[in-house]
Chain A
Amino acid sequence: MGFTGVAFDFLLAVLGVAAPFILIASRAESARRVASTLILTAGLAGCLVAVSGLLRQPAPFLDLSWVTPFPFSLAVDRLTAFFLLLISAVTVPVTIFAVPYFDLHYSEPRRNWTWTFYSLFLLSMIVVVTASTGFAFLAGWELMTLVSAGLILIEGDSPERRHNVFIYLLMMHAGAAAVAACFFLFLPYSHGLDFETIRTASATIPGPIRTAVFLSAFVGFGTKAGLIPLHLWLPRAHPIAPSPVSALMSGVMLKTAVYGFVRFAFDFLGGGPSWYGYIVLLAGAVSGLLGVLYAIAEHDLKRLLAYHSVENIGIIYLGLGTSLVFLAHQAPIWAALALIAALLHTFNHALFKSLLFLGAGAISSATHTVDLEELGGLQRRMPVTGTTFLIACCSIVGLPLFNGFVSEWLTFRSFLAGSSLIGTKAQIILPLMVGILALIGGLAAACFVKVFGVAFLGRPRSVEAEHAVEVPLLMRGGMTVLAAACLLIGILPGLLLRPLVSLAQVLIPGAGVPEETLSIARIIPWIAAIVLGTSSVAALLKRRERMAVTWACGLPELSSRMQYTSTVFSKPIRFVFARAYRPDRTIETLPADQPYFPLSISYRSVRTTSYERALYRPFVEWVVSLAHRLRRLQTGNIQIYLLYIFLALVSLLTFLRFQN
């Protein structure tokens, strides 16, 4: 029990016991201050444990099996340490941001509940990634779902919100069932569910069971990660949570699903036949493309960002799928490169997506709306929010000098390496994926030009935007920390790549150090120097500057209504990709008997996507009709129920008799 062990216990004690207890015991302002400071220190302690775990210090280990009815223990290995670092590194700035944010947005009693749930939410995510037994994992997984649902309901309880939370809970539990199945499928072959036993047992389990484990891990974690078509809950649940919570949900909670998938597919199963990889690649490509296309069509900033989470999860899964394909073809070095790409993108996405959601929170604090059509001109009014948001936009688009580029570059590079698998399908499929990822990147760039350009540049489109003022110091501080982290990894990627290489070597036995991770870390600082140096020289060429009114085609003045709106900006792309949207449009002309002289025309367009039509609706109808048929069993007659119980008992006894 070294120093890191103490830090780890402190972290769990604060988030699980101290902070919630203080918040429930006292409604005072000071109690909230103490609790939020404690959560912040817990985040810092988490960073400490994670960094030392990545540098191969003795791993903290906590066994709580003596209090719980099932084996419950937490441990930090390399993979865990990486995800613990991700959670803690995002927690610290988000918590700093949340202090003034919760004060501004919630009344007195709600604030305490928000902080309590916030603390438990962090605890649940840390339990999920540090769990070293199946039960601990499932307990954390369930707590994570319930607490996040609670955080969404704190914001309000309109029928629409309740409906969205219902869908969220429903899909999460369907996913959780698949995750539980992954663990229980191991049971006949291993004597327990602690990870060490599972790992040793996995060598002995037969092929069909391996496939079953893989597929249920793919579906179970895919639901949590928001892979299309399992993403239905994501654009409903993420935007309606409080902004710091949205930041944690998109930035961190989705990553626990990536963690789970990596744990199963790589650590426990150690890869498999190449079609495992192709399934993951396909899911990644579909999620990436459709995610970004749906995002472009949105003008609600938070919904747009939620769809971009779907897109980025797609990019992460592209990397994971590539890695599985290389594993199947015995090319460990390239498998390691693709896995590093996916894990680095996971980390990068955590940073820039939480920054974007915090930016959306800052916008809503300042203007009381996140509708892009009501914004504009915020860069001049909120320079810090604007600049940090711009850094996040550049990062998510994957522009060089920002962190998103490094991971996308590594993904591109591992696609190209697919051409070395001569004589296999991968030789063609992987290089063609370059085109998919490039298209995703190009569309994401278009989308974020729209987001930043419409929200922060030009003229304000509403009175609220016109009178917006910069948000409080702590909110700016939280965003600045995240933006600095994005830039740091973008220019000096070697900082994270080195620990990631050793992590990949643990997960993929026999992998050396991929040369590419070194070469990108070498060249990026040079590029930064050239781009920034040339730009500064160019800045010297500028002499005087004079304000001149924008040309208005001879009109007296431009108005904000003459600017391009978010909807118009994306129209060309929506027009070209119209097949991906297929909205249900209704045009109503009143009165109906005078089509040429209408008094009013109403137009409504609801985007019902094709898989909602083809996949979910038939399924829901089937479930409802099944429920109707099952209702016949429920007569309300107690004698009948006793008969059921008797029949069940008899059949169970017969079953046991014949089994022995």
Chain B
Amino acid sequence: MKITVDILQVLILILGAPLVSGIIARMKARLQRRQGASVWRPYAELAKLFRKEDLVPPTASAVFRLAPMLLFGATVCVAAFVPVMHASALLASSGDFFLLVYLLALGRFFLSLGALDGGSAFGGMGASREALVSSLAEAPFLLGLVAVAILASRADLAGIVAWTLQQSIFNISAVHILAFTSLAMVSLAETGRMPVDNPTTHLELTMIHEGMVLEYSGPSLALIEWASAIKLHAMLALLIGLFGPWGMASGDTVWGFAVALLLYCAKAGILMVLLSVIEGAVAKMRMYLVPEFLGVASAVSALAVIFTMLAKR
């Protein structure tokens, strides 16, 4: 039963990912008084791209072709670390959140290389900016996770979630608030959302992620888009699991899991509303304000780690 649910969790994260992107896009559209496309549009988009042929630039080497596949593989593996319906995951092990962060880095590394392989200025522009953002985002990401891990005295994500489940919902410590703030800020940078990057832009002055994938088409582009959707979904699930896991199934009953899944959808819905409000309300930052944004995230996460000393004496 446990292993079935673990696999089910991974499938939910992977197969539900386009839906999450679709819902956010739809919410954003509604907030901007547009009709918006159907929430199922990302699936149709993926299906369309998978049917097409791949266009490859003449300068491209094997790295260009391999990058989308490795990115997809690494992101799917990330999904296997995140608890969704119960406090357990397919790949749970001591210190697994370091693996999670570095698997994301693995995908990003190859995507940046693929961008440079096209031989155009846009790929380099996107890769160079991504290098700046991601190199500064890694530290607050890990520090935020470390703060929560210290609080729970556990080194695996599933263990941290299990510990949080046992706490009272009204007993939230300052560490949780600080860690949540920094991880939420990092999530925006990691997944390329406003105000760090604009996922819908095609203006060369502003694009980061879009600049990197400009040369990709067909199934390769589909894999990249799907991987970013999984990344976004996994980050949402991670935030929910670490900071609001209440309602996750503790027993082994089908009912328990059904309720947990429903509650997960509700919690994810709240986060999606938040995200689309942020995206609708704020403008994209200037490129050189991003380091300050991530600097604030780093400071907040460092404070979270320092405050664990007060929580545990």
Chain A residues near B (Cβ < 8 Å) = 377, 379-380, 383, 386-387, 390, 394, 397-401, 405, 409, 412-413, 415-416, 419, 422-423, 427-428, 431-432, 434-436, 438-439, 441-443, 445-446, 448-450, 452-454, 456-459, 515-516, 519-520, 522-523, 526-527, 530-536, 538-539, 541-552, 558, 560, 562-564, 568-573, 575-576
Contacts and interface: CB of A to CB of B under 8 A. Distances in A.
B305 interface: yes
Contacts of B72: 534-535, 538
Interface stretch (B94-102, B193-201, B240-248): B94-102
A397 B101 CA distance: 13
A409 B127 contact: no
A457 B118 CA distance: 8
Contacts of A428: 305-306, 309
Lowest 7 A-B CB distances belong to which pairs?
A564-B124, A453-B116, A442-B135, A446-B131, A535-B73, A442-B138, A548-B55
Contacts of B77: 527, 530-531, 534
B106 A431 contact: no
Contacts of B155: 413, 416
Among B96, B98, B129, B288, which residue has the most Cβ atoms of chain A within 10 A? Answer: B98
Interface in B9-48: none
B206 interface: no
A571 B129 CA distance: 10
Interface of B: 50, 53-59, 61-66, 68-70, 72-74, 76-77, 80, 91, 93-96, 98-99, 101-103, 105-106, 108-109, 112-113, 115-121, 123-125, 127-129, 131-132, 134-143, 146-147, 149-150, 155, 214-215, 217-220, 222-223, 287-288, 291, 298, 301-302, 305-306, 308-309, 312-313
A387 B63 CA distance: 9
Given A442-B139, A568-B128, A416 B99 contact: no
A531 B120 contact: no
A435 B99 contact: no
Contacts of B139: 434-436, 438-439, 442
A527 B55 CA distance: 30
Nearest to B149: A416
B113 A452 contact: yes
B68 A459 contact: no
Contacts of A573: 131-132, 135
A549 B58 contact: yes
Nearest to A292: B135
Contacts of B69: 535-536, 538-539
Given A416-B150, A531-B74, A548-B217, 5 more contacts: A442-B139, A457-B117, A546-B55, A575-B288, A576-B136
Contacts of B99: 400, 409, 523, 527
A507 B118 CA distance: 51
Nearest to A549: B58
A523 B155 CA distance: 14
B68 A563 contact: no
Nearest to B156: A519
A530 B54 contact: no
Contact of A422 (B93, B215, B312): B312
Nearest to A424: B309
A309 B55 CA distance: 40
Contacts of A538: 68-69, 72-73, 223
Contacts of B305: 428, 431-432, 434-435
A547 B58 contact: yes
B143 A432 contact: yes
A542 B219 contact: yes
Contacts of B149: 416
Given A438-B141, A458-B119, A523-B99, A531 B73 contact: yes
Contacts of B142: 412, 434-435, 438
